[in-house]
Amino acid sequence: MPTASGPLPRLFIGSAGETREIVDALEQELRDVARIERWDVDVFEVGHFTLEELTTATAEVDFAAFVLGQDDRTASRGSEATPSPRDNVIFEAGLFTAVLGRERTFYVVDSRGTKIPTDWAGLGYLTFKATEERARDKVYDAVKQIRARIRKLAVPAAPAVGARVAGSWWQLVENVDEGSVLSLLEIIPSGASVRVEGRSWSNQGERVAEYSSRTAALDDGESVLAYYWRGTNPRAKTAPESFGVGEITFTSDAAPATSGQGFFTTTSAADVSQTHKKFARYVRATPEDVALIRGGSRDQRRAIVERMLAERKSLDV
């Protein structure tokens, strides 16, 4: 719940593509009580869904809602085929329920009826009314109950560790023009510290690395972040893993911070005798860029990378 001392809780919303309109309506009506994490924008890279990504998402949100619509038709035990939700949505709903618990997971079911697992008998469902004309009317009853539950269960929190520096950053390499020269780096609060995740591009615009921190530490004033990372080349699955250390000094006093500078090292597991040190500047990535990098078309992603590579070239190196 919104408070003067803590952030909004995070609500993941999952659905099939056929019920994206209901997700839109839920997001519009619930954004005052929760930070919405959508399956189609915020969580999964298009075409790269993995169980690991899904499991990570369960640990990063406070609540989850799943829209169960008439997405498919299913026949069982010789009966006539009836409307049913998409199988993967049922799977995701079960996984989030196991992690978050029943009180924090919402099932928003088509009021016209849809097939649900028999072992879900006894669970309380919310409904959406697909036949209503206005989007907010479709989800009015469900939103009322979800909002009340979030307000009841969301505990006002103190500012999270890393709150000043958390978020998405462009990493612009200054001193070399080979390998990873541009990254979109995510600093994510995690317990008493933070973790770092990112993906990198070459000066030709090719994605050449995906990496994440194994350990990370912030100083008390949250002006310096030090981390140890490991990563792979997503285009060459047989390529050896790389690893290194990094350090970012956040140079602005703003809250949240808006700029930084630092370095990272890169060592190939195939030849640990060779280590390269790269210096970089850091600038906040806009929400629009992040949304398109995660869920936009290939052309949209390419346009953003080209723009940031051009900005990198303008650095005084």
Same domain, yes or no, for 32 and 113? yes
Same domain, yes or no, for 227 and 256? yes
Task: Mark out the alpha helices in the chain (DSSP H runs).
Answer: 20-30, 51-60, 87-100, 135-138, 140-153, 287-295, 298-313
Phi-psi region of 118 (alpha: psi -120 to 50; beta: other; left: phi over 0): alpha
Q: Which of these, 164, 168, 162, 266, lies nearest to 211 by C-alpha position?
A: 266
Give the global pTM: 0.53
Within-domain flag for 149: yes
Within-domain flag for 1: no
Name the range with the highest mean pLDDT among 103-117, 123-137, 209-223: 209-223
Q: Is 307 exposed, middle or buried (0-12, 13-18, 19+ CB in 10 A)?
A: exposed
The sign of the torsion formed by the CA atoms of 83, 63, 286, 172 equals negative
Same domain, yes or no, for 173 and 304? yes
Per-residue pLDDT, 170: 95
Which of 153, 182, 206 is the C-terminal boundary of a domain? 153
Within-domain flag for 232: yes
pLDDT at 188 over 80: yes
For residues 45-58, average pLDDT: 60
Which of 96, 119, 153 is the C-terminal boundary of a domain? 153
Which helix (H) or strand (E) segment holds residue 273: the answer is: strand 271-284
More confident residue, 294 or 51: 294
> How distant, in Å, are the alpha carbons of 101, 108, 110, 263 from that of 64?
10, 11, 17, 37
Within-domain flag for 306: yes
Same domain, yes or no, for 185 and 148? no
Per-residue pLDDT, 51: 63
For the chain, how many structural domains are there in total?
A: 2
Within-domain flag for 184: yes
State the average pLDDT for the chain. Answer: 81
State the residue range of the domain holding 107: 10-153
* CATH number of the structural domain spanning residue 99: 3.40.50.10140
Specify the DSSP class assigned to residue 180. Answer: -
123-137, 176-190, 252-266, 294-308: range with lowest mean pLDDT: 123-137
